[in-house]
Chains A and B, each alone.
Chain A
Amino acid sequence: MRRPAPRLRRVSVVGVLLRTPRGAAAATWLALLLVAAAVSRAWTPLDPFTTDPYSAWLPPSAAHLLGTDSVGRDIASYLLAASATTVVVAVCAGLVAVVVGLGLAALGSLTARWVRDGVAVLIDVLVAFPTILVAMALAAAFGGSLTVVVVATGVGYGVTIARVSRSEIRRVVREDYVTAARASGAGTAAVLRRHVLPNIAPVFVVQLSLAMATSILAEAGLSFLGYGASAETASWGRLLSDLQKFLGVHPWTVLGPGLAITLTVLALNLLGDAVRDAADPRLRTRSPGRGGTLPPEPRAPGPSPADPARSPAPEVTS
Chain B
Amino acid sequence: MRPARLLATVTAVVATAALVAGCTSGGAPGGSGSPDPDATVTVGLVLEPSDLDIRHTDGIALDQVLIDNVYQGLVGRTQDNEIVDVLASEHTVSDDGLTYAFTLQDGVTFHDGAAMTAADVVWSLQQVQSDETVAGHADLSAVSSISAPSDDTVVLTLSRPDSALLFALSGRAGLVLEQAATNDLSTTAVGTGPFELASWTQGDNLQLTRADDYWGTPAGVGTVVFRYVTDSSAAINATLSGDLDVQTAVDATLSSQLEGAEGISLETGKTTDKYTLAFNNAVAPFTDVRVRQALRMAIDNDALIAAVGGSAVDQGGPVPELDPGYTDLTSVDAYDPDAAKALLAEAGHADDLDLTLEYANFYPAAIGDVLTTQLAAVGVTLTVDQVDFTTWLDDVYTAPADGSPRDFQLSMVNHAETHDFGNWADPSYYWGYDSAPVQQLYAESLAATDPAVADQKLAAAAEIVSEDAPAEWLYTATTLTAVRDGVTGFPTSSTSTRLDLSELAATE
Give the interface of A toward B (CB within 8 A): 49-54, 56, 70-71, 73, 231-232, 242, 244-249
Contacting residue for A70 out of B366, B384, B386, CB 8 A: B366
Partner of A248, one of B254, B368, B372, B384: B254
Q: Please name all residues of chain B whose beta carbon is closer than 8 Å to the beta carbon of A246 when the two chains form the complex.
A: 233, 253-254
The residue on A at minimum CB distance from B371 is A51
How long is the Cα–Cα vector from A244 to B306 in the complex, in angstroms?
19
**Inter-subunit contact A49/B372 (CB<8 Å):** yes
Give 16 A-B contacts (CB < 8 Å), ordered by A residue.
Answer: A51-B307, A51-B373, A53-B303, A53-B366, A70-B307, A71-B369, A71-B370, A231-B365, A231-B368, A231-B386, A232-B383, A244-B233, A246-B254, A247-B233, A248-B237, A248-B254
Bound state CA distance, A262 and B223, in angstroms?
A: 49
B binding-site residues for A, Cβ under 8 Å? 232-233, 236-237, 253-254, 256-257, 303-304, 306-307, 365-366, 368-370, 372-373, 376, 383-384, 386
How far is it, in angstroms, between the C-alpha of A52 and the C-alpha of B307 when the chains are bound?
A: 8
What is the predominant secondary structure among interface residues of chain A facing chain B? loop
Q: Are A51 and B369 in contact (CB under 8 A)?
A: yes
Compute how far the CA of A70 lies from the CA of B256 in the bound complex, rounded to whole angstroms. Answer: 14
Contacts of B376 in A (CB 8 A): 50
A248-B233 in contact (CB<8A): yes
Contacting residue for B304 out of A49, A50, A53, A244, CB 8 A? A53
Assuming the contacts A51-B373, A245-B233, asked whether A70 and B306 have C-beta atoms less than 8 A apart, the reply is no
Contact B307 A71, beta carbon cutoff 8 Å: yes
The answer to whether B307 touches A249 (Cβ under 8 A) is no
| Complex CA–CA separation, A17 to B412 (angstroms) | 56
A50–B233 Cα distance when bound, in Å, is 25
Known contacts A49-B372, A51-B307, A51-B372; decide if A245 and B254 are in contact (CB<8 Å): yes
Q: Given the complex of chains A and B, what is the CA–CA distance between A49 and B383 in angstroms? A: 12
CB <8 Å contact, B254 and A52: no
Q: Most chain-B Cβ atoms within 10 A of its Cβ — which of A51, A56, A242, A247?
A: A51
A-B CB proximity, top 4 nearest: A53-B307, A53-B306, A51-B373, A248-B257
What's the minimum C-beta distance from B101 to chain A, rounded to whole angstroms? 53
Measured CA separation A56–B383 after assembly (Å)? 22
Contact A53 B253 (CB under 8 A): no
* A102 CA / B365 CA spacing, docked (Å): 42
Q: Is the Cβ of A56 less than 8 Å from the Cβ of B369?
A: no
Which residue in B236, B303, B369 is a CB contact (below 8 Å) of A49?
B369
Specify which chain B residues have a CB less than 8 angstroms from the CB of A232 in the assembled complex: 383
How many Å from the CB of A140 to the closest CB on chain B? 14
Q: With the chains together, A317 CA to B232 CA distance in Å?
A: 28
CA distance A144 to B384 in the complex (A): 16
Within 8 Å CB of A51, what residues of B? Answer: 307, 366, 369-370, 372-373
Bound Cα distance A232, B368 (Å): 11
Find the A residue at minimum CB distance from B300.
A53
Compute how far the CA of A73 lies from the CA of B254 in the bound complex, rounded to whole angstroms.
18
Q: How far is the CB of B97 from chain A (nearest CB, A)?
A: 47
On chain B, the residues within 8 Å of A242 by CB distance are 365
Residues of chain A lying within 8 A (CB to CB) of residue B307: 51, 53, 56, 70-71
B370 pairs with A53, CB closer than 8 A:
yes
Which residues of A sit under 8 angstroms from B232, Cβ to Cβ?
245
- With A49-B373, A51-B373 known as contacts, the answer to whether A249 contacts B256 (CB < 8 A) is yes
Contact yes or no, B306 A56, CB < 8 A: yes
B410 to chain A, nearest CB (A): 16
B370 nearest in chain A by CB position: A51
Q: In the complex, what distance in Å separates the CA atom of A129 from the CA atom of B437?
A: 66
Given contacts A51-B370, A52-B373, 10 further A-B contacts (CB under 8 A): A49-B369, A49-B372, A51-B307, A52-B303, A53-B307, A56-B307, A71-B307, A231-B386, A249-B254, A249-B257
In whole angstroms, what is the CA distance A301 to B440 when docked?
92
Closest Cβ of chain B to A228, distance in Å, is 15
CA gap between A276 and B460 in the complex, in Å = 80
Residues in chain A near residue B237, CB distance under 8 A: 248
Q: A54 with B306: in contact, given A49-B369, A49-B373, A248-B233 (CB under 8 Å)?
A: yes
Residues of A within 8 A of B233 (CB): 244-248
Residues of A within 8 A of B256 (CB): 249
CA of A247 to CA of B237 in the docked complex: distance in angstroms?
11
- Residues in B with CB closer than 8 Å to A54 are 303, 306
A231 contacts across to B, CB distance below 8 A: 365, 368, 384, 386
Query: What B residues does A50 contact at CB under 8 A?
Result: 373, 376
